Structure 1
Amino acid sequence: MTRLHFAIEDFAALFDTVRRSSWRWECQGFYAIDAGELDSWLAGEAVPSTAEDEAWEEYVRGLRAAGIPFERLRVLADPPTDYERWMLAVTDRSLDIGEDVRWVDRSVVARLGDAPAYDYYIFDDDRVLLLEFDDVKNLTGLVLDDGPDVVARHQRWRDIVWPHAVPHVEMVNARK
């Protein structure tokens, strides 16, 4: 069993280790890194693509070309927060590059019980990348863990919640 701590600067390099699959649980409801883009969107301004966005898009396209799925599950409040409304509005771009983005209502998560209150990735079904955030939702740390109990616990939650997830397009259409 290995539990390794990484600096934020190592985030991108950790994705280079993915060989078969990547699954993301995204439950914070807001991420500080996106604050400027959210503010622009709320002001009705166009949000330009950044170099970081383009690098991510290239990465996901590469995964898809290699037949490696990238799935993301976002938790949605009722009513959605401004951040979640923005994500609903801009996620088509993620679909275009090959991400499988789905949503689950916070009420469903509460009913299913025992949901992690933190974000994580499952890489290749054998490693979990835990994302650590501060109180204002800045990413502050990364912990990669391949312990069998840790991996099994996170797979179990994925397997419980994923069948309740609504594909992005369906969620957007349901909210019109």
Structure 2
Amino acid sequence: MPALIPFEEIAHLFAAFEHTAFRLETRRGYATDRSGARFQAFLRGVDPSPEPGHPWNVNVRQKAEQGARFSRVRLIDEPPTEGQRFLMATAAGNVAAGEDIRVLERTIAEQLCLPDWDFWLFDSRLLVRMHIDDTDTTVGVEVVNDPGQVLSACRARDAALAAGRPSAEVWARVRSSV
């Protein structure tokens, strides 16, 4: 196994990147979401309210004002899991802050040969591979500078963004079927 570092040690990258920060989310849910009050309320039928003052959204707005861009593609199953539905329900706040969030069906991601692991890609130069255990808890991250692996992540990003659909569009369809 590669040397892992705590996620907190790469947190500075979210403010330091210059042009693009991209995330591929492949999990069916995340432990951090499930342990939060917003997720529990969502399970009881309460729609999550946007959080414009949340530090994540403040940073997204600041980076957008500087000309930088956050984007992500979330893989979903058919039907979406509770965790995937929650992420679609909360996406509006991130999008309002300036983040481009798209959704891609897992079957299409498999056809495109996308990775089956989560990662962040900063400025098309630095890959941060997330290592997540069977309980959907991030156990550490691997910082990758290898040009071949970074290029592969860039190709995955480009394919995922091209094939993904806006989260709000997919969420509207999912909501109407529940």
Flag the 1:66–1:80 CA change in 2: closer, same or farther, 3 A: same
Q: Is 2:76–2:84's contact at 8 Å kept on the other side of the alignment?
A: yes
Q: Name whichever of 138-147 and 64-73 sits farther off.
A: 138-147
The CA distance in 1 between the partners of 2:166 and 2:16, in whole Å, is: 27
Gaps of 5+ in 2: none
Number of paired residues?
172
Task: Compare relative contact order (CA 8 Å, sep 6+) and give the higher one, 1 or 2.
Answer: 1
Give yes or no for the alignment of 1:31 onto 2:7. no
Provide closer, same or farther for how the CA distance between residues 79 and 138 of structure 1 changes in structure 2, counting only shifts above 3 A.
Answer: same
Residues 119-169 of structure 1: CA deviation (Å, up to 9, x unaligned): 001100111011111110111101111111110111111222221110122
Q: Residues 49 and 81 (structure 1 numbering): CA distance in 2 closer, same or farther, change over 3 Å?
A: same
Gaps of 5+ in 1: none
Does the 8 A contact of 2:31 with 2:135 survive in 1?
yes
Change (3 A) 1:148 1:4: farther
Deviation at 1:171, TM superposition (A): 1.6
Would the aligned equivalents of 2:117 and 2:129 in 1 still touch at CA under 8 Å? yes
**Cα distance in 2 for residues equivalent to 1:4 and 1:17:** 23
Q: 1:47 offset after TM fit, Å?
A: 5.2
* Aligned pairs (5 A) from 1:1-176: 5-35=4-34, 36=36, 37-45=38-46, 54-113=54-113, 115-175=114-174, 176=176
Q: Distance in 1 between matches of 2:49 and 2:93?
A: 12
Equivalent AA in structure 1 for residue 148 of structure 2: D
**Structure 2: which amino acid aligns with 1:39?**
Q
Q: Which moved more, 1:141-150 or 1:4-13?
A: 4-13
Query: What is the SS of the residue equivalent to 1:6?
Result: coil
TM-score, normalised on structure 2?
Answer: 0.87
- For 2:155, what is the secondary structure of its paired residue? helix
- Normalising by structure 1, we get a TM-score of 0.88
What is the RMSD of the two structures over their aligned residues, measured on CA atoms? Answer: 2.2
Of all paired residues, the percent bearing the same amino acid is: 26
Residue aligned with 2:16, SS: coil
